[in-house]
Amino acid sequence: MSFPELKWNRSPRPDGVGEPEGEIHNPNDFDNHASLVIVAKEGMKYLTMSYPGHMWAIQINEFGRMFNIFNHCFHSVWGYTIRADEVEHDITRMRFITAGGELLERFGHPRGKFDVDVWARLPKDVRGDTIPIINDLEHAAARKELKKRRIAEAIASGNAFVDSQGRTLVRI
């Protein structure tokens, strides 16, 4: 007894919220250009290496030649968009790492490994999604507060100190 091969049920328009439309069982059913798929896979590799524990997703939008990056630990709709020409010829894929860090900071989580205690303290909406900081003034204030908190923690742990001129020095 053989079963028919399942095909990917693709809608005529790309999905704007990053929700899957079906399953792909044959690589030929994937309707994106191969170079964009390779770049997205490498971007995912660098995101998971740089920020472990996070649930990253990269959606390819071939029509606009863009990559939409989402972190499903925080929100499945709000993400970060990168134009394909910004990363296509960059072998380091630093733009993905920068975008991932920016996305984490927009949600109030420090760059680095996923911390469930930090995540639990973040403000959430009625659906349980983390509320992003979408205003640059709030974002700058949040970054400044995060920097102050990190310096205070480093001083308390003995990894940093303040010299006689008021400068904060960090031990390496």
Tens digits of per-residue pLDDT, 86-143? 888 888 889 999 999 999 988 889 999 999 999 998 888 888 888 887 766 666 677 6
If asked whether residues 32 and 84 sit together in one domain, one would say yes
Which letter does DSSP use for residue 154 in this model? H
Asked whether residue 130 falls in the same domain as residue 144, the answer is no
CA distance 32 to 11: 14
CB-based contact 140:147 (threshold 8 Å): no
User: Are 118 and 110 spatial neighbours (Cβ–Cβ below 8 Å)?
Assistant: yes
> Is residue 94 domain-shared with residue 122, that is, in the same domain?
yes
Q: Count Cβ atoms within 10 A of the Cβ of residue 136 and give its class: 0-12 exposed, 13-18 middle, 19 or more buried.
A: exposed
Please indicate whether residue 80 or residue 158 has the higher confidence score (pLDDT).
80
Same domain, 95 and 61: yes
158 and 116 in one domain? Answer: no
| Rounded distance between C-alpha atoms, residue 135 and residue 137, angstroms | 5
pLDDT: is 171 or 8 the higher one? Answer: 171
The reply to whether 105 and 60 lie within a common domain is: yes
Same-domain check for residues 127 and 142? no
Mean pLDDT, rounded, for 139-163: 77
**pLDDT confidence of residue 170:** 64
pLDDT of the residue at 70: 92
- Rounded Cα distance between 158 and 170, Å, is 9
Range of the domain at 170: 138-172
Across 30-74, the runs of DSSP E, i.e. the strands, are 56-61, 66-71
Same domain, 66 and 121: yes
R_g of the chain computed on alpha carbons: 20
At 32-79, the pLDDT tens digits run: 677 888 888 999 999 999 999 999 999 988 777 899 999 999 988 888
Predicted model pTM: 0.62
Q: Into how many domains does the chain fold?
A: 2
More confident residue, 13 or 169: 169
